[in-house]
Amino acid sequence: MATNRTFTMLKPDAIENGHIGKILDMINAAGFEIKAMKYTKLTTDQAQKFYEVHAERPFYGELVEYMTSGPIVAAILQKENAVADFRTLIGATDPADAAEGTIRKYYAESKGRNAVHGSDSDENAEIEGKFHFATNEIF
Ligand code: DAT
Ligand code: MG
């Protein structure tokens, strides 16, 4: 059953490049409501666990190092059809393939440093949201 919620992180490159405000504007303009939000930094353990599905991939070490290299903004977003619509808003993993008007097209540096995370299923949105937020931090 669709939860109408998704989970996002504005990644270290987006923060370093000063893009928090512009990305949040795009998220709001696309009709997403913020249900939880924090400015934080992942520990190596957290980043390894969050990206566990990619543990066997050649870029895993680089991914964990990058995701722990600086602060992130984590958030739970709500909208009808949130997971799919947010994936559309962020664009393809590699900004070179991302459609015009998407967050990654505007703000991602590369396939690895790609500005923003978006959950890929309702089930993962729920798991990822709970990974980052306690019940009393979700509204
Ligand atoms: P997405 O973030 O679009 O869901 P994914 O789940 O396949 O993409 O991969 C998770 C992250 O891992 C991705 O945002 C950036 C990094 N990544 C994926 N493929 C990569 C590659 N070939 N080289 C470097 N980093 C990669
Ligand atoms: Mg993914």
Per residue in 16-46, pLDDT (tens digit) is 999 999 999 999 999 999 999 999 999 999 9
Q: pLDDT digit string (tens) for 59-104?
A: 999 999 999 999 999 999 999 999 999 999 999 999 999 999 999 9
Lining ligand 1 with CB less than 6 A are 54, 59, 63, 93, 111-112, 114, 117, 120
Mean pLDDT, rounded, of the chain: 97
Predicted confidence band of residue 3 (pLDDT cuts 50, 70, 90): confident
Determine the topology of domain 5-137 in CATH: Alpha-Beta Plaits (3.30.70)
Cα separation, 8 vs 14, whole angstroms: 13
Give the number of the atom of ligand 1 that is nearest the alpha carbon of residue 120.
4
Cα separation, 74 vs 48, whole angstroms: 16
User: What pLDDT sits at residue 96?
Assistant: 98
Locate the DSSP E strands across the chain: 5-10, 33-40, 72-78, 116-118
Of 57, 65, 111, best ligand 1 pocket probe by most atoms within 8 Å of the beta carbon: 111
